[in-house]
Amino acid sequence: MKFIDEAVIQVLAGKGGNGVASFRREKYIPRGGPDGGDGGRGGSIFAIADRNINTLIDYRFARIHRAKNGQNGQGSDRYGKSAEDIILRMPVGTLIKDINTGEVVADLVHDQQKVLLAKGGNGGIGNLHFKSSTNRAPRQFTFGEPGQEFELKLELKVLADVGLLGMPNAGKSTLIRAVSAARPKVADYPFTTLHPNLGMVRVDQNRSFVMADIPGLIEGAAEGVGLGHRFLKHLARTRLLLHVIDMIPPDEATDLVHEAHALEQELRKYDEALYQKPRWLVMNKTDMMPQDKRDEICHEFVKKMGWQDKYFIISALTGEGCQLLTYAIMDYLDQHLSPQPEDPIPENELSNPC
């Protein structure tokens, strides 16, 4: 299935049915009085997070979602039928924004989280409700209310604990294959990875975390070079970033320190908050180095970069150093990022349709 992480949709809730002005007309019952019923409620539109969906492709082409109107009221005290609600199932991690105001309508971060997108209009009132001791034959009734209408932008941001960041062909996809059951495409040409991949990394029986691999970022991405910044939003929810470096680039003239700093600057141009996230350095493809000089070369690279945080020397191809890396990540997540209490459910997140 094609991976789609953005879509624009229109949601149009149903109009409420009109009330009716009616009077009872039966043989032998003169002046039967008002018996006009109320109109039914218009259908509302809800979004619900579904962990079994991982793309917004359903909303790329089906853009308009319209609920039905409520039925009008009728005589003999008969109320109009309310219209059925529409449920839109979306991937967990979908951010919903109002295009016109830029306001965040909902952030679907929990499976089965349900959010009201557009409320159906209330039905009108029939003349049955206007009768009184002084108004024995009311002819008043009200029309149904219109339903809400919005144009919404859907953005999918994958939910992962750890994100892989690096130039194309740094070995990110090979790394996620080495430590998880994910099987992204691996090849020796740039931009092999064309969409984010998620992998569950199981450290032991009861300890695991989710790792995300995104397409490589190169210098000039802010100006649209390569795949640009399109997929960086998928790192926004991660707790830790791994900056993966290819220590044996295809071009021997490549300045690895310059490349590493250039990638950092591209990250900063995109989002300062993302740039400030905890980031570890992972030097990959060290199996291709002379074993007696490997540590010396890596430590010299770290020194030239002026790197102050943690760094790891690995080979994703052979698996060397990967276990040490995954255990260090798990310990970091356990120590610094203990589970937070669940956020209170906003008022517009309803457990049942209204």
Go through the chain and tell me how many residues it has. 354
pLDDT of amino acid 218? 61
Q: Which residues pair with 118 in a beta bridge?
A: 45
Q: Give the Å distances, CA to CA, from 149 to 45, 98, 102, 253, 329.
A: 10, 11, 15, 57, 45
Residue 159: CB partners within 8 Å, gap ≥ 6?
A: 92, 93, 109, 210, 237
Distance of CA 206 to the CA centre of its chain: 26
Contacts 24+ apart (CB under 8 A), 331-335: 332/240, 332/278, 333/161, 333/209, 333/239, 333/240, 334/207
pLDDT of amino acid 187? 53
Residues 68, 302: Cα–Cα separation, whole Å: 63
pLDDT of amino acid 193? 53
pLDDT of amino acid 219? 59
pLDDT of amino acid 339? 45
Q: What is the largest CA-CA distance in the chain?
A: 110
In the numeric block, the tokens 């105001």 are attached to 101
Q: Of 163, 164, 177, 192, whose CA–CA distance to 316 is shortest?
A: 177
Token couple for 73 = 């009221």
Q: Of 159, 162, 157, 158, whose CA–CA distance to 332 is shortest?
A: 162
Instruction: Give residue 2's identity as a one-letter amino acid code.
Output: K
Contact 176, 213 (CB under 8 A): yes
Contact 68, 121 (CB under 8 A): no
In the numeric block, the tokens 């109002």 are attached to 98
> Superfamily assignment of 6-156 in CATH?
GTP1/OBG domain (2.70.210.12)
- What fold characterizes domain 162-336? Rossmann fold (3.40.50)
Reading the chain (354 residues) residue by residue, the pLDDT tens digits are: 456 778 999 999 999 999 999 998 888 877 788 989 999 999 999 999 998 888 888 898 899 999 999 999 998 889 999 999 999 999 988 999 999 998 999 999 899 999 999 999 999 999 888 888 888 889 899 999 999 999 999 998 887 889 888 888 788 888 988 888 767 656 554 555 556 778 888 888 788 888 888 776 665 555 555 554 567 777 888 889 999 998 888 777 778 888 888 888 888 887 888 888 899 999 998 988 888 888 899 999 999 988 888 999 999 989 999 999 999 999 999 887 544 434 444 444 443 333
Please spell the DSSP secondary structure of 291-306, one letter per residue. Answer: TTTHHHHHHHHHHHHT
Contact 243, 309 (CB under 8 A): no
pTM above 0.75, yes or no: no
**H-run or E-run covering 329:** helix 322-336
In the numeric block, the tokens 């470096």 are attached to 245
Token couple for 192 = 């092999």
**H-run or E-run covering 346:** none
In the chain, domain spans: 6-156, 162-336
pLDDT of amino acid 97? 94
Q: Are strands 240-246 and 279-284 parallel, antiparallel or unpaired?
A: parallel
Contact 14, 120 (CB under 8 A): yes
